[in-house]
Chain A
Amino acid sequence: MITFDQVSHTYPESAQPTLDRVSFSLSEGDLCLVVGPTGSGKSTLLGAINGLVPHFTGGRFSGQIRVDGRDTTKHRPRELADLVGYVGQDPVRGFVTDTVEDEIAYGMEQLGTAPMVMRKRVEETLDLLGIAELRRRPLTELSGGQQQRVAIAAVLAAQPKVLVLDEPTSALDATAAADVLSAITTLVHEVGLTVVLAEHRLERVMQAADSMLWLPGDGSVRHGGVAELLAQANITPPLAALAQVLGWPTVPLSVREARRRATGIQIRPRPETPTSHTELAVGATDLQVRFGEIKAVHGVSLELFAGTITAVLGRNGAGKSSLLWALQGALTCGGEIEVAGQDPRRLNANQARRLVALVPQTAADLLYLPTVEAECGQADVESEASPGTTAALLTRLGMQLPPDRDPRDLSEGQRLALVLAIQLAAGPKVLLLDEPTRGLDYQAKAELHQILDQFASNGTAILISTHDVEFAAATSQNLLLMADGEIVAAGPTADLLTSSAAYSPQMSKVFSPVKVLTVADVAAGLWDPRP
């Protein structure tokens, strides 16, 4: 169905080829996973399938790609639209119209489909993706999972043979991601589509995948079975890491398989971390945030301790963000907040940020100057810190960013680090991070984990809102579970996560009822001399 023959591509203004003499072929009806660290060329590979690379992006391209016999160098992406459905990373940004129905019909309008046929196919597609009740809704009012399903429906309506998806679940919470991924696997099994999927939540799709493309990052691509490739890849979903620790030759593709293989392996539970209640950094009681009629946060009380990392887990829209913004003092809210004896809501913005720093979900919102250097300088002024403070912080975060780089050209991880440095320049006692793991790969997440640990050990109280259970399990000591604007559970991470069905990390599922959260826990439980 899809054949790459000696394909190379180099972006303009870049010396290194992103893809270097890549050859492989995928057969019809396959579900193929594309994995690799950020910047390894996943998006380039996917874009090449429908000709966006190089027709749209430019750059030097050589080799040949055939999709169902059509040569992509000779056909522009629009001429492949009836053959390849392409869904980009952020569906909202690719939407052309503003209602579900119009968006689904859009592609067919372009192809000149007859109006009667169009009506019929819109209905079929709505049903196929289970979004019929959303047909008239404005796209911007949908939840992330619904938007993603609409985006998939919109390309499917043109009845392509190949579906290309670029990280469709990166912005979704666990439940919505599961919905989208199950919709995709249904399409493979029942519609017979060939699906190429870049996805970092491998744990959910790897059991359904027929093959895998691994991009190590040097421009090469390796094609093979999921279990074999994962064992060698530098991409380490928890089950792959477990396989490495336990010395399994292939990676178990599901929790069920891992449990079977792990029977008989004795490990000790994670040692109880003594809850050393240090200094109280933030105390909030009965917080209330309202947006019109909606109660975003309702009667939330919490305590954050210096040197402790706390995570807030919950669905999208559970009130996590609002809680963070309220604690920073940037939202009008009811209730009491006390940070080091002060209420951030009563302080002006400058004083508030010296008390509580917040890194917003879209970090780029804070950046407006042309270079990294200028941003750092401006942050020094804003924090009334000595010149160079922010730049030094950036180095301490382990990021060597070229000072003259435009912040918009940085990767997600680099940009996050820059914003972290800018916000930390004010020397706050409390750090709040809103969905920091969005768009980060396994390695960047690990780096962020280290950075946070470092600041926590210096006595900063950290609160992270996230829907990434594995990240929360690895990073936090305490956990808050939010639903519908309320805190439904609070306590040590280990206790809460191992007892939860929806929010338990994979290791906990594999070794249940033994209390372990991460692969590191498993490793520690194995290597430690038995008592």
Chain B
Amino acid sequence: MVLERTQTLKSLHPLAWWAWAIGIGIAVNGTTNPLLLALIALALVWVVLLRRSSAPWARSVRAYLILGGFVIAMRVFFQIVIGAKTGDTILFALPEIPLPDWAAGIRLGGPITAEALAYTINDALRLAVLLLCLGAANALANPRQALRSMPAALYEASAAVVVALSVAPQLIESGQRVLKARRTRGTNTKGLRSLASVILPVMADSIERSMSLAAGMEARGFARTRGLPVRGSLTLMISSSMLATLGAFVLLSTDFRLLAVGCLVIGLVGAGFGLRLAGKRLAVTRYRQQPWRVRDTVVSGFGLLAAVVVLTIGGLNPNDLSASLLQWLDPQALFPSTDPLTWPQLSVPMLLVVGLVAAPLAVTGKDRIDVTESVRNDTMVRSLRPKAEILVTS
């Protein structure tokens, strides 16, 4: 295809990267073997370092590494201070402080065992590597390209996001300009009042900007081919998402697994279908939308396969296996025991999983200048961030 022979489209489809990362995430979720987790993490970082572009988001993986380290440190800290006591191998002991009754009988400190620490570290490592999977997807997938793949039903919402993305750096410039201009009026306004003197002109300016933007969009035929929503699409979408929620509820609170998964799948498929239906009212076309190609399927497949391998092995019953097969597959190696303490083992299928993590290297080329220069503007917003804190889980 002649059309595809351009820089932007050389890169992998962003959703393919996401599918790959989510697959690995599922695999990671299915193990606490620290050796396997460490190898997967190494493979992830390796892929990211070799395949990331020069775009600002490509640097985000470092923040996720820091975040992972932070998660492990916090978990260990909580385990030491308020951890549940398991195992007998006492490493050291802290003075024990029982809290009053209203605090549910919690005891601070006390003896710290190797078993409890090992369990915590394994578990925290799993979360850290999971975060790294997300970090890898964030670093490799072009978010703007992904935005173009939004379903048509969300066209207006994604238009608002596009507007926000392009206006954000302009707002920073306008803020800097106002800040500079403020000085020429003297510094008699202090503290929070001076905050008003900066925020208000920028805000007023941006509101006026939204009016001229709206005029521009209207004059250029924004969503012109828009009709009324297809009848029934909302009903379908709402009932589907309710069904999916019900499925999730049943899945978590009962042991009717089949019913639950059924509801979930039907709900999700129904919602997807509803979105398609709702999108029909719109006939807008997309300029240079990234096509989904064989390579994208292959890379997604790697992630999916990694998940399938780990889940299949994890689901095996060791008693059903012959000795040689057990030697080969060893389902227990995915969850090495920490009480009693054992040294984690690697098995052949685990190496296969690590291989699948690194596999995209074989089918993708190095992204050169694959990103449009516009993303330089994103750096402005990112540079406002004082620390590498990405998760606002608090």
Closest to A119 in B: B3
Q: Given the complex of chains A and B, what is the CA–CA distance between A382 and B186 in angstroms?
A: 6
B258 at the A interface (CB under 8 A): no
Q: Given the complex of chains A and B, what is the CA–CA distance between A378 and B186 in angstroms?
A: 11
- A138 in contact with B215 (CB, 8 Å): no
Chain B residues within 8 Å of A426, by CB? 186
Which of A62-70, A212-220, A349-357 lies at the binding interface? A349-357
- A107 in contact with B220 (CB, 8 Å): yes
B96 at the A interface (CB under 8 A): no
- B221 in contact with A93 (CB, 8 Å): no
- A99 in contact with B288 (CB, 8 Å): no
Digitize B154-166: 1 where CB-to-A-CB distance is under 8 Å, 0 elsewhere. Answer: 0000010011011
- B287 in contact with A105 (CB, 8 Å): yes
Chain A residues within 8 Å of B162, by CB? 96-97
Q: Given the complex of chains A and B, what is the CA–CA distance between A294 and B283 in angstroms?
A: 46
Q: Given the complex of chains A and B, what is the CA–CA distance between A112 and B225 in angstroms?
A: 7
- A408 in contact with B208 (CB, 8 Å): yes
- B188 in contact with A350 (CB, 8 Å): yes
A95 at the B interface (CB under 8 A): yes
We find that the number of chain B residues with CB closer than 8 angstroms to chain A is 55
> From residue A360, how far is it (CB to closest CB) to chain B in Å?
5
Chain B residues within 8 Å of A137, by CB? 373-374
With A94-B215, A98-B377, A108-B285 in contact, do A154 and B220 touch (Cβ < 8 Å)?
yes
- B220 in contact with A158 (CB, 8 Å): yes
> Which positions 334-385 of chain B face chain A at CB distance < 8 Å?
372-374, 376-377
Chain A residues within 8 Å of B223, by CB? 78, 110
Q: How many residue pairs, one in A and one in B, have C-beta atoms under 8 Å apart?
A: 195
Q: Given the complex of chains A and B, what is the CA–CA distance between A119 and B3 in angstroms?
A: 8
User: Which of B166, B178, B184, B220 is in CB contact (< 8 Å) with A423?
Assistant: B184
- B3 in contact with A107 (CB, 8 Å): no
- A96 in contact with B216 (CB, 8 Å): yes
A92 at the B interface (CB under 8 A): yes
Closest to B179 in A: A365
- B219 in contact with A50 (CB, 8 Å): yes
Q: Given the complex of chains A and B, what is the CA–CA distance between A384 and B38 in angstroms?
A: 66
Chain B residues within 8 Å of A423, by CB? 184-185
- A96 in contact with B187 (CB, 8 Å): no
B224 at the A interface (CB under 8 A): yes
Interface centre among B216, B219, B374 (most CB of A within 10 A): B219
Q: Given the complex of chains A and B, what is the CA–CA distance between A82 and B221 in angstroms?
A: 8
> Which positions 437-477 of chain A face chain B at CB distance < 8 Å?
none
Which residues of A come within 8 Å of B, CB atoms? 50, 52, 55-56, 76-79, 81-82, 84, 86, 88-90, 92-99, 101-102, 105-116, 118-119, 122, 136-141, 154-155, 158, 325, 328, 330, 348-350, 352-353, 357-358, 360, 362, 364-368, 378-379, 381-383, 408, 422-423, 426
13 contacts between A and B (CB under 8 A): A78-B220, A89-B212, A93-B209, A96-B220, A101-B287, A109-B284, A118-B287, A138-B372, A325-B180, A349-B186, A349-B187, A366-B201, A368-B196
